[in-house]
Amino acid sequence: MGGSLEFEGRDIISIKDFSREEINYVFKTAKTMEPLASKGSQILRGKILATLFFEASTRTRLSFESAMHKLGGSTIGFAEAEIASVKKGENLADTIRTVENYADVIALRHPLEGAARLAAEFSRVPIINGGSGAEEHPTQALLDMYTMVKEKGKIDGLKVAFVGDLRYGRTVHSLAYALSLYNIELYLVSPETLKMRREVLQTIKERIPVVERTSLEKIVPLVDVLYVTRIQRERFPDPAEYAKVKGSYRIDLQALSEAKKDLTILHPLPRLDEIAAEVDSTPYARYFQQVRNSIVVRMALLALILGAAK
């Protein structure tokens, strides 16, 4: 990587499009954003971000908008498909070819796989994928890893466990792929029915050691990072089965009794009760720091692709 040139005008569609060097460059840029996140800046003054959220995600949308404002830019957009002209049957390509005239960069959230990629094909302005389909959420993966770097100094050498729904959880797919570019050991802890999909697993296993387990108990003491995800009721036809599964992957003080002293617990949020409130006040809990880091990582991406990061 020779500087920011390679990012200017670039789409951020899939974490799979990033090399390890590029990811590190995003982290380096994010670090330079830390002071700007506190005191504000005007480096994107006159620039407009459009947040097109065809699927509600208040957290991600507000994070992008906050990042843009902290750089001095403006935002326009919509928060769910129902208030978009989509109701009139418009196709995504036309929406994009319209909004590219209104904005300098577009953050897109869409329920369908491939939507962000399609948008990028039609758009003259850069597209940032804010989550699409079941697999891609590249900015989430980047902020998750930036948090690991901030907490642990580096990613290489870490033992990381994913816990919960590894089948449908969009964030774990992007994150697993990105982590496999580093020298880590990955532990996958989930019920049988929510195991990580074979095709994702296969790619990762070619690069890093992966251990799959259905029980959390023996894994906790081993790992440096525990990445917890929501287990959603709607995945279970049987409510009793749901209750049982949910209980056995719940992180509370008891579950953490043999954790490493410097364990870092992350969660993409929102959480239901898979992490007990009693954990929030422990030094393990870093999921709200993750939110804070989301701002600087998204500031970095916006500044890079709009050519404003030095």
Amino acid at 300: A
Nearer to a copy of itself, 2 or 46 (CB): 46
Does residue 246 have an active-site annotation?
no
Does residue 233 have an active-site annotation?
no
- Cα gap 233→246, rounded to integer Å: 9
Neighbours of 6 (CB within 10 A): 13
Cα→Cα distances 3→67, 121, 133, 308, Å: 21, 25, 32, 12
Closest contact distance (angstroms) between CB of 112 and a copy of itself is 18
* Footprint of a copy of itself (CB under 8 A): 39-42, 45-48, 50, 56-59, 62-63, 65-66, 69-70, 72, 74-80, 83-85, 87-90, 94-95, 97-99, 101-103, 269-272, 288, 291-292, 294-295
Residue of 93, 104, 84, 124 lying closest to 44 (CA atoms): 104
Q: Which of 39, 88, 124, 310 is catalytic?
A: 88
DSSP string, 192-253: GGGPPPHHHHHHHHTTS-EEEES-STTTGGG-SEEEE----GGG-SSHHHHHHHHHHT-B-T
Closest contact distance (angstroms) between CB of 79 and a copy of itself is 5
Residue of 218, 226, 253, 211 lying closest to 158 (CA atoms): 226
Closest contact distance (angstroms) between CB of 251 and a copy of itself is 15
Read off the tokens for 5: 């040139």
Does residue 60 have an active-site annotation?
yes
Residue of 180, 184, 173, 190 lying closest to 246 (CA atoms): 190
Q: Which of 47, 109, 167, 286 is catalytic?
A: 109
Closest contact distance (angstroms) between CB of 71 and a copy of itself is 10
Does residue 109 have an active-site annotation?
yes
Nearer to a copy of itself, 54 or 182 (CB): 54
Closest contact distance (angstroms) between CB of 183 and a copy of itself is 30
Nearer to a copy of itself, 69 or 159 (CB): 69
Nearer to a copy of itself, 42 or 215 (CB): 42
Q: Which of 70, 110, 137, 246 is catalytic?
A: 137
Task: Find where tokens 């990580």 sit.
Answer: 196
Nearer to a copy of itself, 24 or 122 (CB): 122
Q: Which residues are marked as active site?
A: 59-60, 88, 109, 137
